[in-house]
Amino acid sequence: MLSFFFQVAISSGLRQINPMQHNKQPTAIFVADSHFHLSPDAEEQQRVRRFCELLEMAKKTDHLFLLGDIFDFWFDYPHFRLRGYDEILLALDKVRNAGTKIHFVGGNHDIWAAQFLNQRYGTSPDGAPFVITLGSRTIKLCHGDGLLSFDWAYNTFRAMVRTRLGIVLAKSLHPEILYAISEWLSGQSRRANRDEAQRIEEKAQVWIDGCKEADWELMIIGHVHHRFEVVSGDKKLTALAGWFDNPGYGVLQDGVFRMLDFESDPRPTF
């Protein structure tokens, strides 16, 4: 009798659900700190091409997470934005059109891109850190600036891009003046971020040891341009490498998060 009703259900067009498909874990790619310029030189154009290869791979995933400083400088004035980044934006269009959900967390260099990316890709309008559950993993996404201490130049740059007063003052400047200031502070900030690796990891360990947040078990950041992991109890903090000489990115697949080198590690298949 039971087999009779099963056959009737199938003949009526009801779809069988494969338990393995129902429990399929989401796939995702994570990347940060490419620091692309408005007018890339020949060396940077090669980095842009590799980045577009990564975005081509992201078309096969469920999620793409851009964790800040993808763009080295971005500022939207009320009625226009500075020209540039067309190749990257067109590649991101293809990721969106493939059905991949794009997420953006603003970095200290490109937080002002949040509204534009929201309008174009449906990302968060404020580019703020957030927590997301992907299958069996609960992950916090954060650019990472503000977690560790840096020098006066970095603090100046962060105040300019992260505070309301800083934004108001920036909008009062001519775009060329703002761009020149940002280029100088960007260079200062980037050198400060590349502290000796052990010191960065020690600071990260102190931070996670004292962390009282209870709504995540994995935190993924960028910002420091140095790949590492620190663990405290059931929490892990991972920092992605920057997209420079050895471009790094993260992959979530089958519930497992891995950090990979785009040049030397085998490309994952999705």
Asked if 73 and 37 count as a contact pair (C-beta separation under 8 A), the reply is: yes
Place domain 17-261 in its CATH homologous superfamily.
Metallo-dependent phosphatases (3.60.21.10)
**d(Cα 123, Cα 110) in Å, to the nearest integer?**
14
pLDDT above 70 covers a percentage of the chain that reads 71
Could you tell me the pTM of the whole model? 0.82
- Going by pLDDT thresholds of 50, 70 and 90, the confidence category of residue 147 is confident
- Going by pLDDT thresholds of 50, 70 and 90, the confidence category of residue 74 is confident
**d(Cα 130, Cα 148) in Å, to the nearest integer?**
19
Count of CB atoms situated within 10 Å of the CB of 118 = 15
- The pLDDT, as a whole number, for residue 165 is 64
* Alpha-carbon distances, residue 187 vs 106, 184, 235 (angstroms): 18, 5, 33
* Alpha-carbon distances, residue 20 vs 26, 138, 235, 264 (angstroms): 13, 21, 28, 32
- Going by pLDDT thresholds of 50, 70 and 90, the confidence category of residue 38 is confident
pLDDT above 90 covers a percentage of the chain that reads 56
* Alpha-carbon distances, residue 31 vs 202, 213, 225, 249 (angstroms): 23, 24, 11, 5
Domain ranges of the chain: 17-261
Residue range 96-105, pLDDT digits in tens: 999 999 999 9
- Going by pLDDT thresholds of 50, 70 and 90, the confidence category of residue 4 is very low
> Measured in whole angstroms, how far is the alpha carbon of residue 123 from the centre of its chain?
11
